[in-house]
Amino acid sequence: MKKIIVFLCLCAVVPAMAAEPTCNGGTPITANDGTTFCKSNQKMNWWSAFTWCESQGRKLADFATMCPGVSQTPANTAGDCPNLQGKGDVWVWSSLAYDEKYALGVNLSSGAISYGSRVADYYPYALCE
């Protein structure tokens, strides 16, 4: 009976450990509200950002999670996203498409919100939740 209980306990623990998201090839970022993200260490286009986040067991960050309570209007003004302001020095992608060519991004230094071409890889980094 003890062997069965130990086996059942191990079966319950192993899947939980395997499902833990990673941040390999990235840098953990803690937003001002305490939310933890993983920022890629490499620039990439928007489509690649989705794939990279999935490879970490995560998803590309929702704009509402990145900038809670903030308008989705890309004004490119410092302080637009106070939750991520001062958390780095690069632009990061959100999962929110702005129109057929662009997606919203946030500057981790200033907190500005802007949009970038979804196919460009010179612009932001992935930000995964």
- Domain annotation covers residue 10: no
> pLDDT tens across 49-72, in order?
999 999 999 999 999 999 999 988
Structural domain that includes position 76: 21-128
d(CA 1, CA 33) in angstroms, rounded, equals 47
Q: Which domain CATH number covers 77? A: 3.10.100.10
- Domain annotation covers residue 5: no
Distance, first Cα to last Cα, the chain: 41
- Domain annotation covers residue 102: yes
What pTM, to 2 d.p., does this model score?
0.82
The domain tally of the chain equals: 1
Given a cut of 70, the residues of the chain with pLDDT beneath it are 1-19, 121-122
- Domain annotation covers residue 40: yes
> pLDDT tens across 107-117, in order?
999 999 998 89
H or E element in which residue 52 lies: helix 46-55
- Domain annotation covers residue 13: no
* Type of residue at 114: S
Tell whether the torsion through CA atoms of 93, 94, 99 and 100 is positive or negative.
Answer: positive
